[in-house]
Amino acid sequence: MSVTRHHASSAWSSAPFAAALLLLLVAAPSTAQMNIASLTISSGPAYNSGVFTDFFLEPELTGSGIASVLLSRESGGSISLIEDSPGVWICNPGVVGNCDFFPTLQDLRDLGDLTFTVTGTLGESDSILIPFEDWDPNSSLPVPGFPEISSPTPGQTGVSLTPTFTWNTPPAWVDVIFAEAVVAATGDDVDSAQLLETATSWAPILVQEGVPHEFNLSFFAVFFFEESRLSPNSDSYLFTSGYQAFNFVTFATAGTALPVLHGIGAAVLVLGLIGASIAALRRGPGKSAAS
């Protein structure tokens, strides 16, 4: 079961995003084989059908010639990121609590400074320190709020393949909105869009009839955008960070009846998928990792 939080690494590109608040580092190629291309950190609150579930920190580091990535937190402890797809390193979505399910904002903020230690396949090493104040999800947020999805409703069935999804008027702090529809069982991206900060609706094009889907919606506030910095190895990179408030609902498209589990009807199955979704880490648009 996959629910996706929205990654900034692709969202900030010219194409619709393929992958979180956010923290993006784009490094110039180094003389060694290892190259850090980007680092994205999504942090903020997550909601399931409008009900708060947790605060999360979602890193994504991309590059080439990388053998391992270790994330160390000022508060103590380190976790190894996993290679989700070639050159893309993330928190293990199968380990609840590594980077998600912080019960309060302060629990998340208590992580403090973040250090990413990157080891190359030829033994090269580099580390990037992200000071707490550069990713602090509590900074520059004058008004609270999150995406309150009004359509589709949780567990709704018979949704058109050309629907219009709607939500509340975004708070004043929002800089950009990301919307995505995915297949609930696999997390495969069906349609996605980067929208203006004032948008209150989106009309995706769905292709599979009678299939549970998820509508993922994120409000973003940008703290830094493409600020030029240097790593300890003097590789230049661009630094971006921000805040994300995430919400999702599960629904099913019209068409062929949904499968039945032990006699349970289709609508009950859809609602069951919603409950299962909060058991793992939400991933960004275009990603298959579960949430």
Residue 118: φ, ψ to 5°: -110, 130
Q: Is residue 283 part of a domain?
A: no
Q: For the chain, how long is the longest CA-to-CA vector?
A: 61
Q: How far apart are CA 233 and CA 214, in angstroms?
A: 42
* 113-131: average pLDDT: 94
Q: How far apart are CA 112 and CA 165, in angstroms?
A: 37
The total number of structural domains that make up the chain: 1
Asked if residues 170 and 251 have their Cβ atoms less than 8 Å apart, the reply is no
CATH code where residue 220 lies: 2.60.40.10
Least confident of 35-39, 63-67, 115-119, 276-280: 276-280
Two structure tokens written together for 89: 């390193």
Q: What percent of the chain has pLDDT over 70?
A: 75
Residue 60's pLDDT band (boundaries 50, 70, 90)? Answer: confident
- Mean confidence (pLDDT) of the chain: 78
Question: What is the reported pLDDT for 9?
Answer: 42
Q: Is residue 286 part of a domain?
A: no
Predicted TM-score (pTM) of this structure: 0.77
Question: What is the reported pLDDT for 274?
Answer: 30
**Residues spanned by the domain of 75:** 8-277
Q: Is residue 48 part of a domain?
A: yes
Q: Is residue 225 part of a domain?
A: yes
Pairwise pLDDT comparison (253 vs 6), residue with the higher score: 253
Question: What is the reported pLDDT for 280?
Answer: 29
Residue 45: pLDDT above 50?
A: yes
* 201-213: average pLDDT: 95
* 46-65: average pLDDT: 91
Q: Three-state DSSP class for 140? A: coil
* 215-234: average pLDDT: 86
Residue type, 258: L
* 28-32: average pLDDT: 47
Residue 222's pLDDT band (boundaries 50, 70, 90)? Answer: confident
Residue 240's pLDDT band (boundaries 50, 70, 90)? Answer: confident
DSSP-assigned beta bridge partners for residue 177: 195, 219
* 213-219: average pLDDT: 96
Question: What is the reported pLDDT for 238?
Answer: 75
Q: Is residue 54 part of a domain?
A: yes
* 108-128: average pLDDT: 94
Q: Which residues of 132-157 are buried (b: 16+ CB within 10 A; e: fewer)?
A: bebbbbeeebeeebbbebeebebbbb
Question: What is the reported pLDDT for 270?
Answer: 31
Q: Is residue 3 part of a domain?
A: no
Q: Is residue 285 part of a domain?
A: no
* 40-61: average pLDDT: 90
Q: Is residue 131 part of a domain?
A: yes
Residue 162's pLDDT band (boundaries 50, 70, 90)? Answer: very high
Q: Write the pLDDT tens digit of every residue in 165-203.
A: 999 999 999 999 999 999 999 888 999 999 999 999 999
